[in-house]
């Protein structure tokens, strides 16, 4: 049985980040119920391994666990969603095209944005959610995702390009 001070420390360090954990899981699984299941499993894992946590960034540590739990869940339940196809049309560079934020503000349609985000492959959604919604730095995203900083920058650039293209298609 865990000690009372360990439980209190867990509550102070990890529980305040429940919304961020759910938000990341929701965007990766694209389903409220699945996200709840993943977050519950992630919190159980976090509690189980909390004695080995010696850092100061409970949020980053928890989001890493949530991310890994999501990908494990996706591999078990929806392995086809983890594949990213390279499409020359999507990855080509365009000059002087509006960015996703401008397109969104011009049309003020939240549903278009949500649908466009959900079209993105999981690793692109993950990068955008962690950066734009959760406000993590590139370094923090690299730590949470277990990828090099350059990969974070590349994923964010590609995610923004694909988001821009998806929004442009919806607006037309």
The pLDDT value recorded for residue 108 is 54
Angle formed by the axes of helices 100-107 and 110-119, nearest 10° = 150
Which three-class secondary structure state does DSSP give residue 89?
helix
Of 30-34, 50-54, 106-110, the range with the highest mean pLDDT is 30-34
Q: How many residues does the chain have?
A: 172
Assigned architecture for domain 84-171: Orthogonal Bundle (1.10)
pLDDT digits over 90-126, tens only?
Answer: 444 454 566 666 655 554 567 778 888 888 999 999 9
- The answer to whether the CB of 58 falls within 8 A of the CB of 22 is no
**Quick one: fold of 4-80?**
Rna Polymerase Sigma Factor; Chain: A (1.10.1740)
The pLDDT value recorded for residue 89 is 52
Sequence-ordered strand ranges (E) for the chain: none
Q: Where are the domains of the chain?
A: 4-80, 84-171
Average pLDDT over residues 43-61: 89
Q: Using CA atoms in the order 15, 19, 25, 27, what is the torsion angle rounded to 10 degrees?
A: -170
What is the residue-averaged pLDDT of the chain?
83
């Amino acid at each position: 049985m865990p000690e009372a001070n360990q439980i209190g420390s867990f509550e102070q360090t990890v529980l305040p980040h429940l919304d961020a954990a759910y938000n990341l899981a929701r965007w990766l699984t694209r389903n409220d119920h699945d996200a709840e299941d993943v977050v519950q499993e992630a919190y159980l894992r976090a509690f189980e391994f909390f004695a080995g946590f010696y850092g100061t960034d409970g949020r980053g540590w928890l989001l890493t666990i949530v991310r890994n739990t999501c990908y494990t869940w996706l591999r078990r339940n929806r392995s086809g969603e983890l594949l990213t196809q390279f499409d020359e049309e999507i990855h080509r560079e365009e000059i002087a095209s509006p960015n996703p934020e401008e397109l969104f503000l011009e049309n003020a349609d939240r549903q278009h944005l949500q649908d466009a985000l959900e079209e993105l492959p999981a690793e692109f959604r993950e990068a955008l959610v962690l950066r734009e919604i959760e406000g993590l730095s590139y370094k923090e995203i690299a730590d949470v995702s277990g990828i090099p900083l350059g990969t974070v920058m590349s994923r964010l650039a590609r995610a923004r390009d694909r988001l821009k293209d998806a929004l442009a298609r919806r607006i037309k």
